[in-house]
Amino acid sequence: MSQEITGRTRLGCLLGTPVTHSLSPMMYNESFRLLGMDRVYLCFDTEHADLGAIVRSLRQIDVFGFNLTMPDKERILPFLDEIDPAAQMIGAVNTVKNEDGALIGYNTDGIGYMRSVREAGCAPSSCEMTLLGAGGAAASIAVHAALDGIPALHIVNRRGRSWEKALRLAETINQKTGCHADVTDMADAEAVHSCIAKSRLLTNATSIGMAPNEDATPIADPSWLHPELLVSDIIYNPRRTRLLREAEAQGCRCLNGLSMLLYQGAAAFHIWTGQDMPVEEVRRKYFQ
């Protein structure tokens, strides 16, 4: 089945910078083609653009929806008509649906992450978790992990500009979910080791280890990585970060960021269309 642009084709897009590396156009356009949907998805770099003006234009041309990547996940909030409760807790939106002219914001990063964790065999209710980082993706993972039943969450972050954000994130989780969240200084090696020792799920949601800095790792000592851990890295370039290589050497199960990317896209696709994205076909073509 070929995909043709018609006079009725509806547009969706990704906003942010940079966007040239994104797999989203291939993922969504292949899904539209497979399902015979008259839709198309493009990327627009917003580095030097007026986001408010862009959103007004997208509303006027009746796009079916759009995604946000950095730095627009928080910048988008004032331009939305409604925000999903989980996205409100996170304080960031990565998916917007145009519902009869009303722009409704969601955050699917954590939804996609938790689906990948469950598929890897980690039941949230039995997986005490250590989360490295407190940025946008980390916040989404933390909130959805808590909502999915993680009993205890140890947020590990550097003391710096995002330290207060980490404290606010833990406070929100403690107030609004049944999960107990705490915050640990990444520079406190003994405390970080203690968090990991208690956990069955370790997640790197920082950029440490991302290309071109592939020799970096957020863990000071790989011996902290015990075989009972599922070690997850949201980075997918490279596919096997130094953290994952060292975790494998310690006998840990490992998971890179490709599954999270695929499943957060599937969650957004369902929000926009009400249909399930053909995940396995997309995985075989773009996520191997």
- Look up residue 223 and give its DSSP letter: G
pLDDT above 80 for 102: yes
Q: Are strands 65-68 and 10-16 parallel, antiparallel or unpaired?
A: parallel
Look up residue 112 and give its two tokens: 């996609």
Q: What is the CA radius of gyration of the chain?
A: 19
Eight-class DSSP state of 12: E
Domains 10-107+264-286 and 110-256 share a fold: yes
Domain ranges of the chain: 10-107+264-286, 110-256
Q: Residue 2: which pLDDT band, with cuts at 50, 70 and 90?
A: low
Contact yes or no for 163/186 (Cβ under 8 A)? no
Q: Which CATH superfamily is domain 110-256 in?
A: NAD(P)-binding Rossmann-like Domain (3.40.50.720)
Q: What letter represents residue 106's amino acid? A: Y
Mean pLDDT of 272-279: 98
Cα separation, 242 vs 215, whole angstroms: 6
Indicate the average pLDDT of the chain: 95
Q: What is the dihedral of CA 58, 106, 271, 101, to 10 degrees?
A: -40
Query: What mean pLDDT comes out for the span 88-114?
Result: 96
Kindly tell me the sign of the dihedral angle through the C-alpha atoms of 205, 286, 63, 104. Answer: negative
Is 73 part of the annotated catalytic residue set? yes
Please determine, for residue 204, whether its predicted confidence score (pLDDT) is greater than 90.
Answer: yes
Q: What is the pTM of this model?
A: 0.91
- CA–CA separation, 79 vs 92, rounded Å? 12
Q: Which fold has domain 10-107+264-286?
A: Rossmann fold (3.40.50)
CA terminus-to-terminus distance, the chain: 23
Q: How many residues does the structure list for the chain?
A: 288
Q: What is the pLDDT of residue 114?
A: 96
Which of helix, strand or coil describes residue 142? helix
Residue 158 and residue 132: Cα distance in Å, rounded? 9
Confidence of residue 80 (pLDDT cuts 50, 70, 90): very high
- Could you say which of 73, 97, 176, 285 is catalytic? 73
For residue range 9-52, list pLDDT tens digits in order.
999 999 999 899 899 999 999 999 999 999 999 999 999 899 99
Q: Report which of residues 182 and 20 the model is more confident about.
A: 182
